[in-house]
Structure 1
Amino acid sequence: MKGLIQRVSRARVDVAGKSVGAIDRGLLLLLGVEAQDTCEGADKLLHNVLNYRVFPDDSGRMNRNLQQAGGGLLVVSQFTLVAETGRGLRPSFSRGASPGQAEALYNYFVAQAQARFAPVACGVFAQDMQISLVNDGPVTFLLEAG
């Protein structure tokens, strides 16, 4: 399981021209699910997302996590994160989870996030989504459950 986090001033996800999730200051998480991923891996990644120190302290150093910063979390499914891009000029998605497995783990991740943290907003699995964001910094990190 891979998660690309971006520290944002604000972020919103739209489906068919309507907002389905939005946050102000916080983290936008693009979440990719691979075939070997498990609920345990999702729990580990969620722990890392919530506790990764990417927000500035009073000295301007990245020493505060999402909870300490009082930000929101916007979770969006992103199957292209698990693409194999090392060969050729076309991505391969053979490492990706099946749609059913990916949706189940995505829903599990969102439910666990909502149980442990607020506010949490999310996109809609397997939909064509448009994401608007203001990346604060810019600050972007790729986290992996493994």
Structure 2
Amino acid sequence: MKQEYIRQVARRLDLSKKQKHEILWDLEEMFDSAQEHGESADQVIHRLGTPEEYAQTIMSQTEVPGKKFGKTLLGLILSCVVGVLCLTLFAVTQQSWVPDNAIGAAQGVTSIQVVGGFDLSPILLVAGTLAFLLALFFVWKLIRQRKRG
């Protein structure tokens, strides 16, 4: 009865192996302690509730690394997308192009500068670089989470 209860709780816990092992160890000790104090396994099960209820209680009290993993992965993906977008826009703003039907020719390089215009290219370069640095941070965070879990 006790082992079946523990097995059912284990199936319902969506945690890392380490966390699940600790919780099941505590549950095993709870049964043993209750038995030492004259309580039967049925009484302990009645006190704890169904395996579903007990697992839900534990899950609500336990920090689930899977949720953190999902947020970290989402942050990684978003920072990569922003980085690629910013650096692509930066590269496009740096390209000079001449229309096919341009009139005239020049012996040297000519350029037209708009006075009072605002150049976004440095901002795009900085934003893209920061986005990729943030992506590296998220990769580091994911690696740490994998090692812990």
TM band (smaller chain)? under 0.3
Higher relative contact order (CA 8 A, sep 6+): 1
Pick the structure with more helix per residue.
2
